[in-house]
Amino acid sequence: MASPLLPVAGPSISVCMATYNGSRFVRRQLETILPQLAPQDELIVSDDASTDGTPALVREVCGARVRLLHGAFRSPVLNFEQALQAAVGEVIVLADQDDIWCPNKLELVRGHFAGRRGERRLVLFDGRVVDEEERELHPSIFALKQSRRGFFRNLYDSSYPGCCLAFSRELLEIALPFPHRILMHDMWIAMLAELCGEILFDPHITIGYRKHAASTTTFARKFEPVRQISERAHMAWNLLVRMCELKYHKKI
């Protein structure tokens, strides 16, 4: 586990968390993140107009170690976008407000990105699914999502959950700003990596994804062809536009 008192070799990391009425579980999550931060790292929390005291709780737990941002988006995509726009680290790690990080997470992240400056790199780390009391429901997110590469399969049914993602600043720079009304931020970032980046899968368990009544991530596969075709067509069109823009500006 990285000590917050000692310098740690490797790239600087921005941990970006989006919160909304997360006071029930956010303390536990923050307490698993803070001990892993090195002096060069930052924790950014963007709060989407919570009414349950979440911002005050974040400040109480984190003190000066957090950059706390406020907004009124009613959208996890826009909320995460605000956090990502503020990030200055060489590596970005997404964090949900209600998960539990294992003590090895940022150490593994640092290892994957050390000496890789200039690369558009996305790394997925496995996790387990737990219930509200942190009892294991399933030992592998990768297995549940059948996570693997492939542009069209992931365009149809993304196997890149945001809680598992770490990526380079170079990938972030081509992902921002997010297109209007994209389905999800994590899918957008991962699909850009599919098109013009490097993707790695690390089987180490680094989080406990807490499954509860208010969870936004689902591992169940739903067959809703009209809605899915519309959403995926919108995503594909925006990917095409972004790739054309990057090519025009000679960034790819």
Residues ≥6 apart with Cβ < 8 Å to 161: 141, 145, 186, 209, 217
- Which domain covers residue 192, as residue numbers? 13-248
Mapping DSSP to helix (H, G, I), strand (E, B) and coil, where does residue 129 land? Answer: strand
Mapping DSSP to helix (H, G, I), strand (E, B) and coil, where does residue 231 land? Answer: helix
Provide the residue-wise pLDDT of the chain in tens; the chain has 252 residues.
444 455 677 899 999 999 999 999 999 999 999 999 999 999 999 999 999 999 999 999 999 999 999 999 999 999 999 999 999 999 999 999 999 999 999 999 999 999 988 999 999 999 999 999 999 999 999 999 999 999 999 999 999 999 999 999 999 999 999 999 898 999 999 999 999 999 999 999 999 999 977 665 555 555 567 788 899 999 999 999 999 999 999 988
pLDDT at 200: 97
Residue 2 within any structural domain of the chain:
no
Residue 7 within any structural domain of the chain:
no
- Is residue 100 within 8 Å of residue 29, measured between CB atoms? yes
Q: With 0.85 as the threshold, say if the pTM is over it.
A: yes
Residue 227 within any structural domain of the chain:
yes
pLDDT at 32: 98
Residue 8 within any structural domain of the chain:
no
Q: Could you give the number of structural domains in the chain?
A: 1
The runs of H, that is alpha helices, within the chain are 26-33, 54-62, 76-86, 105-113, 141-145, 151-156, 169-175, 185-196, 225-248
Residue 231 within any structural domain of the chain:
yes
- CATH number of the domain encompassing residue 227: 3.90.550.10
